[in-house]
Structure 1
Amino acid sequence: MVGLHYEYLGAKILAGFDTYKYSCKDTSPLSQYVMHPFWNQVVKLCPLWVAPNLLTLVGFMFCVGHFLLLTFYDYDYRSGTAPPDISNIPDVPGGIPVPGYIWVLVALFLFLSHTLDGIDGKQARRTGSSTPLGELFDHGLDSWATIFITGSVYSIFGRSEDHFSISPFRMYCVLWNVYFCFLTSHWEKYNTGVLYLPWGYDFSMVSGFVMYLITSVVGQSYWKILLPGNQYPGPFMEIMVYVGNMGITLPVALYNIYKSYKEGTGKNRSFLEANRPLVSTIVAFIVSLIWVLRSPNDILELDPRAMFYVSGTIFANICCKLIISQMSNTQCELFSAILLPYSVVCLIGGFANLSKQNELILLYGFTAFVTLWHIHYGVCVVREMSQHFGIRAFSLVKPSTPPSAPHVLYDTVRLISDDEESDVDIVMGN
């Protein structure tokens, strides 16, 4: 099979989805007492003929849109480095601030993205159209959204080697920290069978929305204020990301995995099998550092946005494979196929001593290549699963052709108790 009919999954993985049940714990107070009550009211405004996956896709496009707005107005992340009112600082190049109305649009797009992402599952339950494809589509797009969300916040503070903000390299490390945090949740589910939703997601989305609105009113120079403890907001947020991810998310995930082994409630895989999903992302991180640290032209300083985007797309492709394997209860691949071209490009960039122009051509060419690769992968996987379950991905009207497997709907009832699973799965056959 070629083109958009390429089969990435195959019969074994598709068969694994037939017995899948969604199990999730969401104990975040912000999620339980603020976001879900709000979403429960918003979803009532959505017509019953709207497919949940369509809400997911539109929400993701708003997420991409807020990133593209800042890409157009602040491509090199210099708008927040030194706006005109503080451009007299020595050795700091003056930037052109992003207009206030753009920050309002950025905030609005992020709000709509978060809201649609929050109501898609509720819409599925309203319409009785919950399937494993919905969860895969949602979480798969969320993995790609990590770069669009985190990469946009950097524009508020701007790139800087001084104490007002952080350098592109430090931001690159922050991004990889966020990638590993997202991966940790699905690695945790791969071993426990339960998705423990991190508290940081809703908090970061709400915080980003508020920060964009504040910036639209007071300007980017506001984020150069000195906080208690002689710390500036940009470096302070960098510290908080590491504290939240490495100091809270990872230890909690390790404890949950340990508890599942001790109580026999998880998958009880061997040590090597349990850690198999981590290999591809670690390899991707290592080869990324080779290019960044050995680049003859300091490629990360030349075009941080493109480097950020490439790393996020590579991660999303790898993470989608993990999500599929944990949902289908199949073995996660050790090395993702996308690592081969990525490793070659990183080694060329790090060791070939390219000119500045040729290194940028290498970066832009691979950016286009990896984007097409990931989109092709996503389209083909959605097509395979839609055909398998006998559904249309973006419509509630069923196709005339019968499914290749018994059509089973997975309806999830949300609970908010801390001492029991927050999602109880009910299987309903047609």
Structure 2
Amino acid sequence: MDKLFNYKYLTKKHLKGLDNYKYSAIDTSPLSNYVMHPLWNTTVKILPKWLAPNLLTFAGFVLMVALVVLLGVYDYGCHGPLADDGVRVPDWVYTACGVLLFVAYNLDGLDGKQARRLGVSGPLGEMFDHGIDSYVVFFIPYGLIAVFGRDHEFTLPVIRGLLIVVSVCLNFFVSHWEKYNTGVLYLPWGYDISMWATSLLFLVPGLNGPTVYHTYLIGQVTVAQALEVVVHTTGLVTTLPVAVYNLYLAHKNRTAIYKSILEALRPVWSMLVLNVVFIAWAVTSPSNILEYDPKAFLLLYGTNFSHILCRLIVAEMSKQRCDVIAWMCWPLLAGAAVSLYLPHLEVPTMYSLVLLSLAGHLHYAICVVRQLCVHYKISCFAVPKSKRK
């Protein structure tokens, strides 16, 4: 087992770049600065000093996994108020999901506070935090789809649910593409707002029943349709234009890390392949694979997305060029081709790709964390005795 996770994904250049890394972020969100940071600054004082920051990060991730599993158990088919067997999903399931999400969000805010309080901030903690965030950002819309369900007038077609997941994930990607080029992580205002809003979107049906969203807001516009517009508009009107502008300023001020447009766009190609393949596969699927098992299909997307982002995060922090095309894109392309030309193999191909992507991503994550722990002579989930005093 030890040999299995002893692969060295990080090169000497990666490690040297990480040794010189300095965290740089700008957060101008009023909600973050005037509500959440003061709350976290107070809360962190009562945390025991033996509690490692990465343990807080991982605990938040476990809560998000619990949210996904809970919805999978009671509503695997994403049918919303009525589960697969026609039995209503208990209201407490949605309440629990809202609580799990909000607690996970606060743990994600506390981990950095705890790290600075103990003086154990470093590349491993940031990479661990952002790497897990790349999966959590997918889990949020992945779970929220189950609240609205499908196949009735107050929800969206599954393909549009996929596009919502893609839109949310792309907002996260754009922020890290921006950091890859500028060296600065500009935290979007929408992050804190979306965490509060999504928690409430879970809690409301928990308190009032899941059919609470079976209504029209204005005319024939449903709650699900309004949410769809908000999600897409947020990325197109705020996240992307701001990122492009910050990149323009970096080039104008000669602080951009990569000078040519081709180098600046290098992270885009893996993400472009990922999204084109998934959307094309969903639209042209002989077996209508997205309708057949939306949970598995979307999980395959989210795992591939997280893997590409984790590799981008490693590249941006070490100031190394990222992959032009991440390796996970190739099995995905092959699987989509097999599904198109051999329709009878489409379902087993999808499930095989889910297992392959989960195994590959898990292996990469564990190996990178182990390699950094050895390099910095630290433990991922333990605070040094000298820092506990």
TM-score, normalized by the shorter chain, greater than 0.5: yes
- 1:131 is aligned, of 122, 139, 154, to 122
1:293 deviation in Å?
2.0
Q: What is the distance in 2 between the residues matched to 1:100 and 1:287?
A: 36
Match of 1:332 in 2: 322
Match of 1:219 in 2: 209
Spell out the pairing of 1:171-320 with structure 2 (5 A cutoff): 171-320=161-310
TM-score (norm 2): 0.95
Higher CA-based Rg: 1
Secondary structure, aligned partner of 1:4: coil
Unaligned runs of 5+ in 2: none
Number of equivalent positions: 386
Match of 1:21 in 2: 22
TM-score (norm 1): 0.86
One-letter amino acid matched to 1:141? I
CA contact (8 A) 1:186 1:322 kept: yes
1:45 deviation in Å?
2.3
Match of 2:10 in 1: 9
State percent identity of aligned pairs: 40
Secondary structure, aligned partner of 1:196: strand
One-letter amino acid matched to 1:187? W
CA contact (8 A) 1:147 1:308 kept: no
1:94 deviation in Å?
9.1
Does residue 1:388 correspond to 2:375, yes or no? Answer: yes
Match of 1:72 in 2: 73
Secondary structure, aligned partner of 2:372: helix
Match of 1:403 in 2: none
Match of 1:37 in 2: 38
Q: What is the distance in 1 between the residues matched to 2:89 and 2:41?
A: 35
Match of 2:63 in 1: 62
1:290 deviation in Å?
3.1
One-letter amino acid matched to 1:181? N
1:365 deviation in Å?
2.1
CA contact (8 A) 2:91 2:210 kept: no
CA 353–359 in structure 1, closer or farther in 2 if over 3 Å, else same? closer
Match of 2:88 in 1: 97
1:286 deviation in Å?
1.6
One-letter amino acid matched to 2:13? K
| Bigger helix share | 2
1:349 deviation in Å?
1.5
Q: What is the distance in 2 between the residues matched to 1:70 and 1:397?
A: 38
Secondary structure, aligned partner of 1:98: coil
Spell out the pairing of 1:411-430 with structure 2 (5 A cutoff): none
One-letter amino acid matched to 1:60? F
Q: What is the distance in 1 between the residues matched to 2:149 and 2:87?
A: 11
Q: What is the distance in 1 between the residues matched to 2:125 and 2:76?
A: 33
Deviations 1:84-127 (A, max 9, x none): 9xxxxxxxx99533211212211121111101101000000111
Does residue 1:165 correspond to 2:152, yes or no? Answer: no
CA contact (8 A) 2:181 2:257 kept: yes
1:206 deviation in Å?
0.8
Match of 2:335 in 1: 345
Secondary structure, aligned partner of 2:270: helix
Secondary structure, aligned partner of 1:395: coil
- 1:367 is aligned, of 317, 330, 354, to 354
Q: What is the distance in 1 between the residues matched to 2:8 and 2:85?
A: 51
Secondary structure, aligned partner of 1:227: strand
1:30 deviation in Å?
1.0
Q: What is the distance in 2 between the residues matched to 1:398 and 1:310?
A: 41
1:229 deviation in Å?
4.4
Secondary structure, aligned partner of 2:217: coil
The two structures, once aligned, show a CA RMSD in angstroms of 1.9
Deviations 1:6-58 (A, max 9, x none): 01112110110011000001111111111111111221221011110111011
Secondary structure, aligned partner of 1:25: strand
Spell out the pairing of 1:120-159 with structure 2 (5 A cutoff): 120-159=111-150
CA contact (8 A) 1:392 1:398 kept: no
CA contact (8 A) 1:16 1:328 kept: yes
